Structure 1
Amino acid sequence: MVFRLIIVLFFFSVGVFSQEKFTKHKVSKGENLTVIAKKYGLKAKDIKDANPDAPKILKLNSILLIPNKDAKPAQNTSESVVNNSGFHEVLQKETLWGISKKYNVSVDDLKKANPTLETEGLKIGQKIVVPSNNPVAVSENTVKNSEPEKPEIASSGDVEIVVEVQPKETKYAIAKKYGITVKELERQNPFIKGKLPVGYVLKIKITKEKADAINAISTPQSQINETAPSQTGIAENSVIKKDTTFVYNGNSSELIEQLILNATENIGTRYRSGGTTKAGFDCSGLMFCTFGNFDIKLPRSSIEQSRIGTKVASAEAQKGDLIFFKTNGRKHINHVGMVVENIDGEIRFVHSSTHGGVMISSTKEPYYQRSFSQVNRILQ
């Protein structure tokens, strides 16, 4: 009898230990081990080790065990009291802004008390110092049913906004929404330089004035997902197709500079017929991909691209215009590039050439001087 009692107590203790050591996570659309690990401040290997039977391609709505580095007791009561020792244990989905409201302190005060937050951010289970000793009662039901938190807004100076990447969002659309350049967005979030996975959490620092303006007109993200999922991440009507010419509402010069930067970053990439990736581009594929990165969809072939926009004289060619050629004695357009500058009648353009891949050439070169056809303005 005593032996049986010992066995029961052993399994009971193991069960309790397991519940405290792991958190259950339900797999959502677009998630993989890397994305989930990033959300919990862990490595993908940690989650893989905790779920040895999990398939390489995760199934939607399946449950994974997430290792909890700082195990916390299960909260079964409807109301819990945040301890008054000057520390706060970070829970899932909590933000600095939300924690500051609970303790009636500013986000800046929390950052000053916890210097590592600037570089590492919040992690589930992390204990942070709170510059207040007053206990605050927090209802679990209230937390669950409360409205989605708005972006972090501090009282003065620059503020930090936390943004989760949604399906179909692009770096340009996010940067445009918050009034910064793609380069600045990548500088603040170096891990997105290669790609922009769905579910990644970005931290964007902007001025308080911009944040106030965004906060005033923004809709809670959950409502956006429910009411208009197909439009998530698209720049807010910033590009409108009208009479085959794209009319850009905003600072078009900034967009054009970003287009040129994006295209010239591919200089040296080899020519590949039908190619639209860094593995190789053809001429129209380079234009299709470059403009597509900024939510502007061009036709796929050079002849079709020559039929959109507005034709302009070569002397009036500007940065961002498309320039077309009839090469090798052809009677129809079969080559396209993008103007990067026009100085004293010499148009320099970036394109993907069959003999040199992505490069910059000039209309002063005899070959392109003979085969020049037209210039089309795509953005107005």
Structure 2
Amino acid sequence: MMKRRTIVSWGLSVLFLLFCFHTVAYAGHYKVKNGENLSLISKRTGVSVAVIKEANHLTGNTLKPGQILNITQKNSASPVLAKSKSHPAASTYKVKKGDTLITIARKTGIPAKQIAALNHVTSRNLRAGRNLILSKPKPVVSSTTVSEEGEDLLEEEEDAASSDLSGGIACEEKATEELLGKWGSADERKLLIKVSTGFLGAPYRFGGATVKGIDCSAFVRKMYEFFDITLPRTAREQSFVGVRVDRNELVEGDLVFFRTKKPIGHVGIYIGNNEFVHASYRAKSVRIDSLDQPYFQKRFQRAVRVKGLDDNGGT
């Protein structure tokens, strides 16, 4: 009984943090750290370099460590949405007699967990005639927002060290084969999946880490922060923490990594049934995809477990 109360209390705390993350936008002051430049600060705050310079009356790009910058976004709208031309209607499916989430997933190609999360349903409470949302409306992004990656589904993450070969060597040297923490129970691990899939449809933004837009590694980092684990900022850095696991040993909560134009450029959270949740570059939102898709099969690089049920990373 006491254990159940602890889990419920802990779950409510996580949901409170989840609520805070959705409702608090970045605005205020930023203290410049050693080695930072305007481009890096722009990526970390989600505010463009031009807006930062205008707000602080900067004529050049030189910054001093300890300098206080006024960071405000002129427009509260998401940078992705602000550039959209229109908002197409969401894709839907009308439930037929005898349908289950599994059969609907097969018919539509949409993962069953994604359908369930978007509509808050299970196979038990499906009713014939009900219209299910298969995906949230996505803005049609103008051609000016298309990155140099063209049709690539995954984004390339960049940070101050990513273009430096020594940065990759340093990460290899610091790679450790040990867990960063232990799950209190299997239920706590399942709560991570529930929280992560609760963000389905959240807007994507390359280099973003705020409610206005978030990229793949920031999404993973934020989810694990709710569970007292602090991960590095980029996918490349995250791939060198925790315990390496084979693809056929994946369990809920493991991190899966993919190559883009770099050896490690994208990351997601495994949610079971060979599926993972991630902030998708092409979909411009958080979504669920399958590791069985040829695109991801071809680009899968490695998987790591950052938290386990025992000291050896066991399931």
- Which structure is higher in RCO with an 8 Å CA cutoff and minimum separation 6? 2
Q: TM-score, normalization: structure 1?
A: 0.37
Over alpha carbons, which structure has the higher Rg?
1
TM-score by length of 2: 0.44
Structure showing the higher strand proportion among its residues: 1
